Structure formats: structure tokens, C-alpha cells
Copies of this chain bind each other. A is one copy, B any other.
């Protein structure tokens, strides 16, 4: 609720929530839509949504002039802004929004300065009324968990909810999720959901949705556009493409990584280019044609959600202790992905025997564990041939994981071990199943 004097000012100007108005303050003129006031914070700050989807908070003073505007224009018009409008529109696609928590569904606690989670997902949608003009949205309040606290048990729940929705008539799925581990979850869903019937778009925000600088609005609107209209039948992540607010990237669920702690364009396509970009005005531009299309058949989306938690992700580095492999072996682990250096190296010819990994890798493999080799370089591909040390690791029985990021190889290993016998899991680890491995690398994937 806004302050009493502000509510009065809106009333006398005839401006209702979700309506367009002009605000003149200190010589500056702004036009946009009146947004509901978050529960906490200064009730004298007017929240205005501009035509580019950006929200701002403007302090109301005695000098502030408010005027109602009749016609919506440009993007706002196209997106049919209407707060609380939830009527079914037959011209729009049926989309299920699965709510799991994270910053996108959080608010600032103005008393402590900290961020807390919303209890009602509807609050989030109130800040993005333009979605009503993009999709027929229904909500599943599945869980409210910070992404750093997510585990495979949550991945399984989310995968099941997505498969159920797709098999029950949704043409697309939006999953709101915390950003920290969104790329782990997107990889897990990419493997767990087979024969996808429609787009599954994961979306988060780096700033909570009650902050004027939040990326939640543009990210959600873009995700809704993809879920409602795209012919892509893949799991993808939708986040800001650059530090400006004008478009989002749609990045394959197994080829995306959070690469910055705080920026709104933190998510980057790795060893790939984005599948598509979505402008805030709603235009989808596809960057390649190698994405999976919605099948023409009536086949159901299948769930294959087994996951073996006894799989490890281990980073080697100078002075790293190879005994860690013995530790996991002793705990009954079925496999481990090693984050090697460069082309997939570990210290295997070092003269310092307590730092030499080769005996431990061999012992883990001999004990029945699957050992996968990846690179902490993140970009590029491992190779078991160039150097003698690489061939030693290969000969010890490690599986070189092509151009999979360590995180993706880890998720894939756990998923393979949870669904296949060991020999089959080991065979499938370096084979492309769902776009996670590229046959060859393109020069423009790493800038130029």
C-alpha cells in the first residue's frame, strides 16, 4: 500500500494500478505504468514501470505532478498490461509456471537490509503484469528453496512437475529458480526429461523483484515468451544477455554457467552460442537451427529421474591431495568427475609421490568407480592424446568427457549411475545424449 496522501493523489488524478500515467518531478518527465507498492519500504515512493520493462521508484513530494494517460503505447500496448488479469485468452499458449524459490521470488527486508523469500508466488506475478498478454499462465507452488540448498531430491520433484504439466496440456513450462545452482538444475532436467513436448525455460533474477533495478521483470517476460511461443523442445536458461535491459539470452541447459557473482548478465553460454535471444518487445531471434523442435507426434514426455548421490566432483590443482579419491572410494562412491587442468591433466608424473594422482586414479577405476576427466578451463575440450601425461590418465581407465563442463559431467555421471548399469553408464558418459557434447567447436564461442 502507498501512503495515504499518495493514494489520495492517485485518486484525484484518476490513476489506478496497472494504468499508464505521466509523472513530473524536479523538471523530469516520466511515463509508465503504476505498479503496486511492495509491502515493505517507503510508502511515499511511487513504483513506475517504463515501456522497456524497467521498474523505478520515484519519491513523491509536494512538487510531484501526476497525470493519467489514456493510450498505452509501444511495448506496453503489445503486452496488454493489466494487473491481476488472469482471464483465459484462447489466442495465447497455455504455460505452467513452477515456482521453486530463489532471488526472483524474494524481497528485501528493509529493516535488516537482508533478502527474504515471498510466501505467495502471486506476489511475483503482480510485478510483471505484461505476462497476461503473453501466455495463459497457471501456477504450481512446488517449493521455496534457495538454489544453494537444492539437491537431487529437489531436481527429481521439479522434473516430475514439469513432465506432468507437459503431459497434461501445457505447451511450455517456466521454472523460477535461484541463480546460484540454476545451471546444475538445468543440466539435471536436460537429462531427466526425455522426449520433451515443449519448451522448459528456467529463469531467475540477480536482484530481488521489489528493487527498481531488478532483472526479474524482463527475464520473466522473456521466459514467458519462449514458453508460450517457441518451437524449441529443450531445457534452457533465460537470463539477461548484457548489462542493459533490452534482451535476454536463451541458453541450452547443459551449455550454460553462472560466470559472475552479481551482474544481471552473469549467465553465459559455454562451448556453444545461445539458442535464441528474446527482446523485451517480444521478438525471438534464433541463433542456430540445431535446437530440438517440438515433435509433431502425440508422444508423452518421459521422466527418467534416477540419480546416484554417491558421485563426486573433485578439483585437482598444484599440491592437491590425491588421497581424496581414496576417501570417496571408502565411502562407497560409484564415480567421480575430476576437474583437471588444461586438456584434462592431473599431476601424474610429479616427482613428489604424495602429490602424484596416477596410482589413486588407477585404484579407483580398479575398484569399479567411473572416473571422468574434464577441465577447469571451462571453455574448450579435453583431449587424451597430445601429451604423455594425458595418455597415462587415459591408460589408467579415466573417461575423457569431451567439451562438457565439469558441472555438467558431474550431473550426467550421477544421472547415468542412477538409471543405467555401470558398463552402460561408462559408455554413455562421453557420448552426446541431449546436446551436452558438441561434435566440433566453433571459433566464436569464446569471443574473438
Contacts and interface: CB of A to CB of B under 8 A. Distances in A.
B346 A261 contact: no
A391 interface: yes
A446 B331 CA distance: 40
Nearest to A185: B318
B407 A347 contact: no
A375 B414 CA distance: 23
A-side binding surface: helix, strand, loop or mixed? Answer: loop
Contact of A261 (B319, B331, B377): B377
B318 A315 contact: no
Contacts of A319: 151-152, 309, 311, 414
A117 to B, nearest CB: 10
Interface stretch (A124-132, A141-149, A278-286, A430-438): A141-149
Contacts of A382: 261
Given A312-B321, A313-B317, A317-B313, A260 B379 contact: yes
Oligomeric state, in number of copies? 2
B448 A343 contact: no
Nearest to A328: B321
A436 to B, nearest CB: 16
Interface in A305-360: 309, 311-313, 315, 317-321, 323-324, 327-328, 331, 339-352, 355
A88 interface: no
B352 A258 contact: no
Interface in A112-154: 113-116, 145-153
A179 interface: yes
Contacts of A328: 321
A174 to B, nearest CB: 21
A99 interface: no
A304 interface: no
Interface string A242-272: 1100000000000000111111011000000
A49 B294 CA distance: 53
Contact of A260 (B320, B331, B446): B446
Contacts of A439: none
A191 interface: no
A145 B348 CA distance: 11
Nearest to A178: B342
A114 B385 contact: yes
8 contacts: A114-B386, A147-B342, A150-B347, A151-B350, A263-B446, A266-B380, A313-B317, A315-B339
Given A258-B341, A260-B377, 10 more contacts: A150-B347, A151-B355, A152-B319, A179-B342, A184-B318, A259-B378, A261-B379, A261-B381, A263-B446, A266-B377
